Every structure is written in structure tokens, then in C-alpha cells.
Amino acid sequence: MGIIEVTNLKKSFGTLDVLKDVTFEVGKGEVVAVIGPSGSGKSTMLRSLVNLEQVNGGSIAVEGEYLVKDGVYANPQGIKRITSKMGMVFQHFHLFPHLTVQENLELAPRLVRGEPAEESRRKRDELLRKVGLTDKKEAYPAKLSGGQKQRVAIARALMMNPAIMLFDEPTSALDPELTGEVLQVIKQLAEEHMTMVVVTHEMGFAKEVADKIVFMDNGEIVESGSPDELFHNAKHERTKSFLHRSLK
């Protein structure tokens, strides 16, 4: 049984079906890369896992608990409990600009969990070391580069000790020379067997780090499999032509 199980997920905006019957699962400790053209529903699918988008049908279960079952959502406490198992990293970071790096990290554990200050500080220092930003802890986000911001955002999500990390195009807003430092941090998390779902356009990264690749197009999963299967033996014409265009 997967740590995340998504079955027959459906979502539409008006007459536009953005998710049509999406089914997949993520195993514990697995890194899943979701690829596909813009507008294929990748981000919507990812965002619906943490209730940033509401679906019209289907089920999402995390660690066996249903966030939504056959289109019916859990109660508010249930939603909160289930979504708190997941950390989310956005394309545009969404750091809190009025708080320093360390305040960004400590805010949620202190406020939401009532974590003791000492514990938050210890975890904060550990995570800032991990993402290589110890010297920036007093800085405001405005003073950081895009790559640094994204590393802070990753550390901020990790502060809540999530079982699963979700990444929504974590490097798409970065200058090409800054993507490496962010991908490095994600790679390190993969080595520590963090369960992750990464929506990405970085094919090289997906190939190297992911255990499983999911290819989405037009609101549905066209095919999924190991990087080797997808990159070298794709079954579907749509997958082949997308990969061909992306790897050029």
C-alpha cells in the first residue's frame, strides 16, 4: 500500500476538465517525478494533495487516511491532520517577506505546534546547515538570491517534520545557474529516503533522482514507470514526442 494513494481524481474549472480520472500511488521513501507539458494538470494534481485545490471526484488517501473519498472531503480537523503530513515547496517560494530567514523557519512550529523555542532553534540551525544557509539566518528574503530563497523554503517546510515533501516546479523560477543548488538539496533528501513528489521540467534531474516518473498530458496520466522505462522504452507516442521535445 502506498503512502499516498490517488484514485480516479477528477477536477474541472467550468467546462474545462483539468484532471480526468488520475490514479497513481507513491510508496514510502519513493521519489516520484511528475513531468508533462504546461497545462497538463501536474500542478493542480499536486496542489489538490494539500487541499490548495478542491477536486470534484475521486479519492486521495495519505498513510491510509482519506483526505477525500469518492469526492467527499474529510471534516476540517481531518483535513488539517492529513495535510499536515505533507510539506509543500512552491515555484515562487512564497517566503514571508516581513520575517527573517530564521523567523520564516520558526513561525509555523512555534505557532501551530506550540513547539518550545529551544527545540525550534535547534531544528532551525540544523536545517539551515543542511541547506547551506547558516550565515543568512538574520537576513530578510529580499536580500537572498532565488536559489537561496528556495532552499529556505525547503527548510521551512521541513521544520514541520513532514512525512512527505511536495515540490511544485521548484526550479522553474530560477536562473539556470541557480537550479543546481536547489536540486542538490532535493537530491540529498532523496538519499535520506524522504518520500517526495516533484513536479518538474528538469528531465536530467528526474532521470537521475526519481524512482518513478509519471507523465501527464491533458489532465490524465499517460504512462508511468521507472526512469529507464520512460526515457528509453516509452510505450505511448505522446510520451515519446514530449520527451523528444524536452531532451532536445
Partner 1 sequence: MNIDYLINITVPMLEGAQMTVLLFFIAIIASLPLGFVLTLMANSKSKPLAWFAHTYIYVVRGTPLLLQLLFICFGLPIIPVIGDYLVMDRFVAACLGFILNYAAYFAEIFRGGLLAIDKGQYEAAQVLGLNRWQTTTKIIVPQMVRVALPAIANESITLVKDTALLYAVAVPELLYFAQTAVNRDFTIAPFFIAGIIYLLMAFVLTLFFKSLERRFKFE
Binding residues (CB under 8 A) for partner 1: these are 50-52, 80, 83-84, 86-88, 90, 92, 94-99, 107-108, 111-112, 140-143, 156-157, 160
Burial of 77 per CB tally in 10 Å (0-12, 13-18, 19+): exposed
Shortest gap between Cβ of 90 and partner 1 (angstroms)? Answer: 6
Question: Nearer Cβ to partner 1, position 53 or 229?
Answer: 53
Query: In this complex, which beta carbon is closest to partner 1, that of residue 91 or of residue 246?
Result: 91
State the Cα–Cα distance between residues 235 and 102, nearest whole angstrom: 47
Residue 116 cell numbers, joined: 518550545
Strand order in the sheet with 57-62: 16-26, 4-13, 57-62, 65-69, 72-73
In whole angstroms, the minimum distance from the beta carbon of 161 to partner 1 comes to 12
Cβ 167 to partner 1, closest distance in Å?
Answer: 12
In the bound state with partner 1, the residue whose beta carbon lies nearer, of 196 and 243, is: 196
Min. distance of Cβ 53 from partner 1 in angstroms? 10
84 or 134: whose CB is closer to partner 1?
84
CB of 152 to partner 1, least distance (A): 12
**Nearest-CA neighbor of 100 among 133, 66, 68?**
133
Residue placing its CB nearer to partner 1 in the complex, 97 or 116 = 97
